[in-house]
Amino acid sequence: MLLDVESSGGHGLSNTLGLAGFPNLDVVRSPALGRKPYLARLMLHEIIPLSSESAPVERGVLGLATSLPLRRIEFRIGKMSLVDFLDLNSAGSDSHLQFLNWVTDNNGTYDYPANTRGYTDAAIVEYDDHDFSVRFAEALMPKVANGIYLDADLLRAHSETVEGEWRERVFRGRSGLARVLGFVNHADMGNYRKAIDDFLRGSGPGAGGARPILLRRASRGGRSTELD
């Protein structure tokens, strides 16, 4: 079991508005949340070995094991940040240790489910073999975009992410890695294309106004596929 309590407060320049890739990933997007300590992570982690072979690993804040089976299945369930385990980048994936913006730290198009502080309730299953890994995550979406509260109704709002990873030594024996990541989010979201099309046609809620009006609709999905 992993338990992590944090305290984070303050706000970024211009209240973190106006930049597509804000320069500080670890900034609190809602200053009204204050500095009161909160539960960041609480998860159960189970490892099922599928071989007797093992390899050494470094201990970290998310695991204390010094070795892991080369073939294994891992289960995680609880409160977590999905980018602790998905879309990892050796050059910059921990915002607590590196001052990097949202787009540099993670793929800019990976709209992973998270509340205002970057956490969600989720379950992850992972299969690891010698040269490849496959991961799947099912997670809750916030009730509103970047909101602090999560929507527990999985029939209405949910997110799925799948990632495949291939590891091999190429270029004179140097280690190499390739990942493919895809995700789909279903939540109470608006449709930007429909709002713009309605505005241009002179119909819909933005008709006659100075700009399109975006309306949220329940169970609207958005999806993307990424290559690393």
User: Where are the chain's structural domains?
Assistant: 43-227
User: Could you tell me the two tokens for 119?
Assistant: 């956490």
- For the chain, 228 residues long, give each residue's pLDDT as a single digit of tens: 899 998 877 666 676 666 666 666 666 666 677 778 889 899 999 999 999 999 999 888 888 889 999 999 999 999 999 989 998 877 666 666 665 666 666 666 788 899 988 899 999 999 999 899 999 999 999 988 778 899 999 888 999 999 999 988 766 777 788 899 999 998 877 777 777 888 787 776 666 666 677 666 555 555 444 444
Of 63, 44, 34, residue with least CA distance to 121: 44
Q: Which helix (DSSP H) or strand (DSSP E) does residue 195 occupy? A: helix 192-201
What does the block give as tokens for 176?
Answer: 């190499």
Tell me how far apart the alpha carbons of residues 169 and 175 are, in angstroms, rounded to a whole number.
Answer: 4
For 7-36, give one letter per residue: b (16+ CB within 10 A) or e. ebeeebeeebeeeeebeebbbbbeeebeee
Is the pTM here over 0.85, yes or no? no
